[in-house]
Amino acid sequence: MAAIRIISTKIGKHTKFVSYINHIKTEAAKQNGFIRAQTYWLTHPDTEKKINTYWLTHPDIERKININQNFNTYISISDWKNYHAWESWLYSNQRKEIQARFQNTILSENNQVLIPTKLPNHIFLL
């Protein structure tokens, strides 16, 4: 089975969110099948203008978030040996314990699994 890539988007509030992200990254790196990860903070285009709301869309909900309350969006792109390795981490007790400690900080989490294509002659971004 081929390696997979995970795009994980997390939205959180307050400075404790940074601590949550650090705990998750540290534990994920220890997991069997973890290859590497790159992390990013998402900047909202109008943040400097102090916009009042940012629309968060989720399959089940749509709600407004007040950016002035210090919400942050974090995106992680990680590579895993296979889907089973990723799923083991996703549902692990270590991850659940970290989430429980920071449950009042986490507003939203969304994970997308990318599987390499096997199409011949494909060139990215054509």
Per-residue pLDDT of the chain (126 residues; tens, 9 = 90+): 689 999 999 988 877 888 899 999 999 999 999 999 998 887 765 554 333 344 444 444 444 444 445 678 889 999 999 999 999 999 999 999 999 999 888 888 999 999 987 776 666 665
> Does some domain include residue 44?
yes
Q: Total structural domains in the chain?
A: 1
- Please work out, in degrees rounded to the nearest 5, the angle formed at the alpha carbon of residue 80 by the alpha carbons of 79 and 81: 130
| Residues 6+ positions from 104 with CB-CB distance below 8 Å | 16
Instruction: Give the pLDDT score at 53.
Output: 42
Indicate which CATH number applies to the domain containing 89.
3.30.70.100
Say how far apart CA 82 and CA 80 lie, in whole Å: 5
Tell me whether residue 125 is in a domain. no
What residues make up the domain containing 100?
A: 4-114
Report if residue 120 sits inside a domain: no
Pairing mode, if any, of strands 54-57 and 62-65? antiparallel
Burial 34-47 (b: 16+ CB within 10 A, else e): beebeeeeeeeeee
Residue 52 inside a domain? The answer is: yes
